[in-house]
Structure 1
Amino acid sequence: MPTSVMTRRSLLVGAAATTAAAMTACDSGSGGKASSRQTEKVTILTGVGFQGREAPIFVAREKGWFTEVGLEVQALPGKGTTDNLKNLVGGQATFATLDVSGALMEYTKPGGIKNFRLTSVLHQRNLACFIALKSSGINGPRDLAGKTLSYVPGGINHLLFATYAQLANFDPSKIKWVNAGPLQHAALLAERRVDAVSQFVPAVDSVRALAKQPITVLPFTDYLTDLHGSAVGVTADTAQNKPDLVRRFNSALLRGLKYAIDHPDEAGQIYAAQKETQGQKPEAAVSELKGLVGYIEGIADAPLGHFDMSRVARNIAILQGAGAVPAGLPPTDIVLTNLAG
C-alpha cells in the first residue's frame, strides 16, 4: 500500500480515536460537564429525504453521542441544497446537509443566499451520477443529449448539470427534466418513464436491484475530479455566536460517520429501525454505507470531517473554469476550519 494512503488512513483513525477519548474524558474525568449541561434541542436537514447515507445521524443519536454533548437532535427530510439553504437561513433548522459545490454556486450568484457557512465535510468526493439501463443505448455522458432525466429541484445533479455537460462536451439545452421524489428515481427508470435518473453512486446497487437488468453508471467525478460532496452548514450567525454548539454537534455526528462506515451492517439496522425511515430495508442502507467509504477515506490530507483547504481551492477553481461561479472567491469566506469538532 502506498505510504501516502497509509498516512491519510492513520489521520482518519487517529481523529476518531481522539474524538472517542475526549468523549470518555468528558463522561468520567471532567466533573460530568456533558451530563450536567442542560440539553439543547437542535434540528438537521438531511440531503434529500431519508436515505441510507444519512445513517450517521441516527447512529450518533442511537448510541447516545449527541446526548453526551448536551444535544437532542431531530432529523428533518431535506429537499436538496437550494431548499435546504432557504430553510436553514429561514430558521427552520439549526444545521443543514449541503452539497459544497451547490452551496458555492448559491453563495456567488446575484441575489444568492450568503448567510451560511460550511463547518465540516461529510464526503470528500462528490457522489452525483446518472444511472441508465444498458438497453437504452446510453453508454457515456454524450448519449444523455436530448434524453429525459429525473431530478430533484435544487439537487446537485441538476445544479451541476451544465458544468458536467460542458466538460463532457455535449449540449445540455435539449434535456427534458422530470421532477421526482428521493425514493422515486429507481422506479421511474425500471418502468422506462425516463432515460436516466439522478442518483448518488452509493445507491447504485439499490437501483440495479429494482431495475433487474444491467445498468450504466455515469459518475460526475469522471469529469469533475476534485469536487467535494456533502458538508454540514449553519447560518453565519450561529457560527459566530454559538461556535461551541457547532463543535459539539459536529464531533458527535463525525463519530457517528466513522462508526457507520466501520460497522455498516449494524448502522444499517439502526437506520432502518428509526421512525423517520418508514420501514426502509436495512440492506439498502448497508449497501450505501459500504459504497461511501471510497468517498470519505484516503482522499484528503486532513482528519475525518475536516476540510483540506487546498482541495476547497481546487473545487472553486474547477467551478470558476466552467463559469459556474465568478472569480475571486476566497475559500475562507464560506468554509470555516475551526468548527469541525
Structure 2
Amino acid sequence: MKHRLVSKAIALMGAAAMALSLAACGQTNTADSSNSNTSDLKKVTFMLSWAPDTNHIGVYVAKNKGWFKDAGLDVDIVAVAQAGAEQAVNNGVADFALSNLTNTGMYDLKGATIKQVLQVQQKPSAIWCSLASNTEIKSPKDFDGKTFATFGSNESDAVIRRMIQTDGGKGEFDKVTVGTSTFQTMESGKADFGGFYATWEGVQAEMYGPALNCFTEPDYGVPGNADSIGIITNEKTIKNNPELVKKFTQATQKGYEYAYDHPDDAAQILVDEAPDANLKVDFVKKSMQVIVDGQYWGDKAKIKDGSFVLGTNDFVEPQKYFDFLADADAYTDSHGKVIHEAPQTKDLATNDFLAK
C-alpha cells in the first residue's frame, strides 16, 4: 500500500516529466562541491522519497554549503529504493530519508522502527483537483459519482470521502489506478479528479498547464496536518549513534533555514546539485516562493523572534489527522487487518537533535 507522500510522488514524477523533462528518481549529483577529500569523514546515506524537489532542498543546500563536511560527514544522496525510503531506513539500507509523520505512523503499525527527527513542513499542502475545463466540478460535492485517479490508498479515500460529505455530498466515487501521471490520467478522460501538492504540481499547473480547479483539505472538514514532511532515521541509529543523528539533523536544519531565507539561491543550488533531474530554475524558484509566501515551513516572524524553531516536530496537528484516519478505518497492520487505534505522534518523533 502506497501512502501519501509515496503515492503523490509517482504522480509528481510523471507530471514533472511531461512539462520539465524530470528524470524520475534518477541518481543525483552527490559530489560535495566544497570538499574533494572525504577519506576522513563519516559516510552517511540520505535517500530521496521521489525525484529531487523543494521538499528535499535543505539537504542539497547543506551539502553544497559544506555544512555536512563541517560536521564530519560525507553525505551521499541516493535515489529512492523500490520498496520506499521508509523501508530502506527501517532495514538500514539508508541512514536518513525524507518522509513524514503520516508515513512514519503507518509503517510503525506494520512493525517498523523509524522516527522523525526534523519536520520542515508545518501545514498541509495537498490539493485535490479537477481539470479547469471540466465544468461539471465546482466544489468537492461534485466529486460524487466521478472517478478518482488513485494509487489505492485507504488514506486518500478517507480524505476524499470527508471532503465530499462536508460539502454536502454522499462521498461515493469510482476509482482508477494512475498510470504514468495523474495529469495524463485526467487529460485522457480516464479520471475526473486527483491529488497533488500546491508547492510543486500546483506550481507546474500554473506555469505550464493544464489549468486546474483545486480544493484544500482544511476547508472541507479534514483535520490536522497530513503533510508533516521531514527527516527520518532508524531508532537503532538514534540509540547507537546519537551524535551522528545530531550532526546530520542540525546541518540539514541549517540547510532548510538558509533555503527559507534565500529561496532563489537555494533553488539554483537544487538545480545545480541534481542535474539529472533536469529541473528548470524558474520553476524551482516559483516553488520556493510559494513555500515562503504560504509560510509552509513555519511563521517567519516567530522564527525571527525565536518563539518557533524551524524543523520542530509538531505533535498536535498530525495527531488530529491520525485520529481522523483511525475513525475512518484507514489503518491496517502488516496482514491487512484494520487497526482502530491511531498511532501516537509522541512515539514517532523527537526534537532532541535540533539546534534550539
With structure 2 as the length reference, what TM-score do the two structures score? 0.73
Inter-partner Cα distance in structure 2 for 1:53 and 1:329: 24
1:340 partnered with 2:341: no
Offset, 1:257: 0.9
The answer (yes or no) to whether the contact 1:39–1:67 under 8 Å persists in 2 is yes
The answer (yes or no) to whether the contact 1:187–1:211 under 8 Å persists in 2 is no
Inter-partner Cα distance in structure 2 for 1:220 and 1:105: 20
The answer (yes or no) to whether the contact 2:67–2:251 under 8 Å persists in 1 is yes
User: Pairwise mapping of residues 317-328 of structure 1 onto structure 2 (< 5 A)?
Assistant: 317-325=323-331, 326-327=340-341
**DSSP-derived class of the 2:214 partner:** strand
Inter-partner Cα distance in structure 2 for 1:69 and 1:36: 12
Change (3 A) 1:113 1:141: farther
User: Pairwise mapping of residues 96-245 of structure 1 onto structure 2 (< 5 A)?
Assistant: 96-108=97-109, 112-136=110-134, 137-151=136-150, 158=153, 160-168=155-163, 169=165, 170-171=170-171, 174-180=174-180, 184-186=181-183, 188-189=185-186, 194-203=191-200, 204-212=202-210, 214-222=211-219, 223-227=221-225, 228-245=227-244
Query: Percent same amino acid among aligned pairs?
Result: 19
**What number of residue pairs does the alignment pair up?**
295
The answer (yes or no) to whether the contact 1:52–1:284 under 8 Å persists in 2 is no
**DSSP-derived class of the 2:259 partner:** helix
Inter-partner Cα distance in structure 1 for 2:41 and 2:351: 26
The answer (yes or no) to whether the contact 1:41–1:72 under 8 Å persists in 2 is yes
Inter-partner Cα distance in structure 2 for 1:259 and 1:53: 14
RMSD across aligned positions (CA): 3.0
Inter-partner Cα distance in structure 2 for 1:145 and 1:44: 41
Inter-partner Cα distance in structure 2 for 1:174 and 1:191: 16
Inter-partner Cα distance in structure 1 for 2:55 and 2:187: 22
Offset, 1:163: 2.1
Structure 1 unmatched ranges of 5 or more = 1-34
1:63 partnered with 2:74: no
**DSSP-derived class of the 1:239 partner:** helix
1:261 partnered with 2:245: no
Inter-partner Cα distance in structure 1 for 2:142 and 2:107: 29
**DSSP-derived class of the 1:114 partner:** coil
Change (3 A) 1:336 1:152: same
Inter-partner Cα distance in structure 2 for 1:277 and 1:194: 31
Offset, 1:195: 2.9
After superposition, the C-alpha distances for 1:170-212 in whole angstroms (9 at most, x for unaligned) are 53662112143xxx44455556564334321112121232225
Inter-partner Cα distance in structure 1 for 2:81 and 2:131: 26
The answer (yes or no) to whether the contact 1:58–1:274 under 8 Å persists in 2 is yes
> What residue in structure 1 maps to residue 53 of structure 2?
51
Q: Name the amino acid aligned to 1:175.
A: K
Inter-partner Cα distance in structure 1 for 2:256 and 2:199: 15
Residue 304 of structure 1, aligned match among 303, 307, 310: 310
Offset, 1:45: 2.0
- Point out the more displaced range, 129-138 or 188-197: 188-197
Offset, 1:328: 6.3
Inter-partner Cα distance in structure 1 for 2:48 and 2:143: 28
The answer (yes or no) to whether the contact 1:88–1:234 under 8 Å persists in 2 is yes
Offset, 1:86: 1.6
Change (3 A) 1:95 1:147: farther
Change (3 A) 1:150 1:52: farther
The answer (yes or no) to whether the contact 2:60–2:269 under 8 Å persists in 1 is yes
Offset, 1:89: 1.6
Change (3 A) 1:36 1:187: closer
> What residue in structure 1 maps to residue 30 of structure 2?
none
Offset, 1:338: 1.0
Inter-partner Cα distance in structure 1 for 2:96 and 2:86: 10
Inter-partner Cα distance in structure 2 for 1:94 and 1:171: 41
With structure 1 as the length reference, what TM-score do the two structures score? 0.76
> What residue in structure 1 maps to residue 20 of structure 2?
none
Q: Name the amino acid aligned to 2:84.
A: D
Structure 2 unmatched ranges of 5 or more = 1-36, 332-339
